[in-house]
Chains A and B, each alone.
Chain A
Amino acid sequence: MSEKASFRSSGGVRGWFGRQPWYIRGVVVLLAAVAAYLLPYVGDVPLIGPQIVTEGIDWPSALFNMSYYVLLALGLNVVVGYAGLLDLGYVGFFAVGAYGTALLTSPDSILYEDTGWKWLMAVPAALVLTMIAGVILGWPTLRLRGDYLAIVTLGFAEIIRIVATSTTTLRGDRGFASIPHPPGSWGGEPIFGVTDAIPYFWLGLTVIILVILGVRNLDRSRVGRSWLAIREDEEAAEVMGVRTFKYKLWAFAIGAFIGGLGGVLFAGEQSFINSQTFVLQFSILVLAGVVMGGSGNMAGAILGGVLISYIPDRLRGLSFGDTDLYEYRFAIFGAAIILIMVLRPQGLIPSRRRAMELKDREKEVAPQ
């Protein structure tokens, strides 16, 4: 009953979308993607544009920030939303990806003389490193019950931060400078320069689209079914022949991989990272984004990722009377989280995966 009610109330857009034939859906998706690529120019749109763009921070940079937050949200959604594993230390993988890149490419790194790698060469190595980190963290801990997993993953992120702060190899506060930008040039000028953030946003967006396609493929397969079964009833899943540990580990590794991607992009854009970059609050923020947007559903995760990045950036440079709103950004954000969750406990975009599939399959069954 409640299912039907929420069905109706959650609006016509998705209902309409689900009823369209595949080519219409394809066109809509394509248009949405094109619109996303045009986002840097949204400020030129009369009336609405200036309301949307950030004032205290260059708009393309804000968009790039959103892009790696969205990546993190998508990755964490695999772990928390699909497999139901509560990971509070997700920022650890982001850090491993960024530090992996820095170690391999920054002139400050002890490895630099041996490698002297460019950004692109470091990417696969850093991603393999994060996946290994995911497996190393997951192997002993995924046997633990949900709530315990939360605290252990929290610890993992904290350990990564401590290691980054306290070991000479990772340089603590001094960090790594001069991490190379992504390659490529256009008319003699490097595409990925220092001043213009638009190419970085486009790169981030492209990665996001690839990740969405990949996760979607996994979700609509044996892998996604296994994750969901584990989330719903782990013991029953095992009795049905699901190798629960293996799929939980995969969820972790894939989540780590996506988080690492975010870190690699981040390092490539910022060109500098240090131990202050990866505070624990960060992963908690991303988790809040995923659940707020609607966990277990990529549209929700994306919306959540956008919000956790956009709200603070939008508040930058704003003041209310004498109060600088940017100072209060996280306080406002905290209050917003409570409000959203109290009003919409299932998240802003509740998972409707099941409901969508219902339509497709009714058709198959009907001719019987």
Chain B
Amino acid sequence: MDFSGLIDNFGPLTVTGLAQGAIIALFALGYTLVYGVLRLINFAHSEVFLLGTYACLFAWGLFGLDQNSAAPAVGPMLLYMLVGLIAAIIVSGAAALTVEFVAYRPLRRRNAPPLAFLITAIGASLFISEVVGVATHRNQTGVPPIIQARPVFTIGDTTVTNLQILIILLALVMMFALDRFINGSRLGRGVRAVAQNPDSAALMGVNKSRVIALVFLLGGLMAGIAAVMYDLKIGVTRYDAGFLLGIDAFTAAVLGGIGNLRGALLGGLLLGVLQNYAAGVFGSQWLHAASFVLLVVILLFRPTGLLGESLGRARA
């Protein structure tokens, strides 16, 4: 154990952690939204994310970009970003909806026990990641340098790059927009109503099936954005990228209080930062072990996560 690594690199570790946490938080939203409404761990959400990481690569590939391309100028870069984001959002959103229609909806119709949902989710997850694995020969795929990480400013010995700023800002904006949507719009009200009491929401004329589809779609959109950010930050993706980061994202959702949107943000950022601190102290191979120990400790003292479980305020 060596604390000097942490103390010497406290600033950089914090900033890296925040950027990583922002991605985790966006990813975690999918778990939290679905759990809030259906009380279901959407195990296949990690593959929704995975497909996003490949979708934007595919879109960039159409422009002839690959990992060896030169970094584009500002104009094309904006275009590429937009195209990449749209591709990832469309594919992830569609994947999330497909999972809901193929793996969950038929079970709901048949009144299946809760465990059955988890298992079909596992089946869907396995199917998607394995098809991607076979198609890519289980190799990692490099990401074209759409945005070159450049230092923007420096505080003390901490350098903050344009990419980190972009990731954190984008995550915050998306979070804010989603929060406004759920708490402010008519559709969002339907979501909250179903989350709080599915039966009486149905009696009040809320279309439950539509709300559920909407929730999957929203989670998929957020995962798509997270996937693009992930590609840019990490530089490569692989068939099991979703699974590994998915565990982090789900941990973050539980940490903040699953079913709680703001909890996902808090949990994601906290987890990202603490993982990097732990890596600074124990070495990076212990990063996940540290996050799980942290999770257990927090759950023992706050059994419903940091901010409590609630989609919408009434149950807070």
Interface residues of B (CB under 8 A from A): 35, 39, 41, 102-103, 106-107, 110-113, 115-116, 118-120, 122-128, 130-131, 134, 243, 247, 250-251, 254, 258, 283, 285-286, 288-289, 291-293, 295-296, 299-300, 303
Contacts and interface: CB of A to CB of B under 8 A. Distances in A.
Contacts of B289: 158-159, 162-163
A148 B299 contact: yes
B296 A338 contact: no
B113 to A, nearest CB: 7
A334 interface: yes
A280 B107 CA distance: 26
A140 B124 CA distance: 32
Contacts of A288: 119, 122-123
B74 to A, nearest CB: 41
B36 to A, nearest CB: 12
A151 interface: yes
Given A336-B123, A341-B123, A162 B285 contact: yes
B106 A147 contact: no
A65 interface: no
Interface of A: 80, 86, 140-141, 143-145, 147-148, 150-152, 154-156, 158-159, 162-163, 165-166, 280-281, 284, 287-288, 291-292, 295, 327-328, 330-331, 333-338, 341-342, 345-346
Contacts of A86: 115, 118
A281 B242 CA distance: 13
B54 to A, nearest CB: 16
Contacts of B126: 281, 284, 330-331, 333-334, 337
B124 A338 contact: yes
Nearest to A160: B289
A334 B243 CA distance: 15
Contact of B127 (A141, A151, A159, A334): A334
Nearest to B105: A342
B127 A335 contact: yes
Given A147-B258, A156-B292, A291-B116, 10 more contacts: A148-B299, A152-B292, A162-B288, A165-B285, A166-B286, A287-B119, A333-B123, A334-B124, A334-B125, A345-B110
A331 B303 CA distance: 36
Contacts of B112: 341, 345-346
8 nearest CB pairs, A to B? A337-B123, A155-B292, A345-B112, A334-B127, A334-B126, A331-B130, A338-B123, A330-B130
Contacts of A165: 285
Contacts of B113: 345-346
A141 B292 CA distance: 12
Contact of A80 (B107, B115, B295): B115
B115 A141 contact: no
A334 B119 CA distance: 10
A295 B118 CA distance: 13
A140 B292 CA distance: 13
A275 to B, nearest CB: 11
22 contacts: A86-B118, A140-B300, A141-B296, A147-B39, A148-B299, A155-B251, A155-B291, A155-B295, A159-B288, A162-B285, A162-B289, A280-B243, A281-B126, A284-B122, A287-B122, A328-B134, A334-B127, A337-B120, A337-B122, A341-B112, A341-B119, A342-B120
